[in-house]
A and B are shown apart, each in its own frame.
Chain A
Amino acid sequence: ETGVTQTPRHLVMGMTNKKSLKCEQHLGHNAMYWYKQSAKKPLELMFVYNFKEQTENNSVPSRFSPECPNSSHLFLHLHTLQPEDSALYLCASSQDPTTALNTEAFFGQGTRLTVV
């Protein structure tokens, strides 16, 4: 148990569906992240939120829409996805590295997404 919880663990959705991934952390961290892990590729950073403000959008298509209502919760809203979007989506949290010396990142177990 890392202190970062992701739901659901598995999701199958059609290309016309709308779904949301949820991430929750109880570590008192200020920064939260979404990563995508596809087969045989390194983890790709998608979005970064620091103190609820989006600080990074790594050229992610608009069919992925993040939401960070507070520093403990992070959502990834999905709509009109493509089969190539099938992947493991990982959420992580850490302290703000500009203020803290120890910026260890903690990851959730991920959501395995399959787009059919």
Chain B
Amino acid sequence: QSALTQPPSASGSPGQSVTISCTGSSSDVGGYNYVSWYQQHPGKAPKLMIYEVSKRPSGVPDRFSGSKSGDTASLTVSGLQAEDEADYYCSSYADGNVYVFGTGTQVTVL
């Protein structure tokens, strides 16, 4: 199972929006509505931000939103804040009852 493809980096100024893509195939992203997104600050464990493509766990700000079209999922962070600077990973359930993560995107708040 190959890793899902994410851009290595993304950036935006405070208050702006940034969108991160996550491209897979019909065997994972395109085949299931089980895409999730994780935020990871340096030295910390990942934190779930979005599950089932677009749902937010309790406590996650509504500045974070998710969507999917075909084999590509996206995470949008609106109203960027300094604390949003982190690495972001997507993940998808895949054929064969396995999971695959994305390559990761480093988000910088300018």
- Are A and B interaction partners? no
Name A's B-contacting residues (CB within 8 A): none
Name B's A-contacting residues (CB within 8 A): none
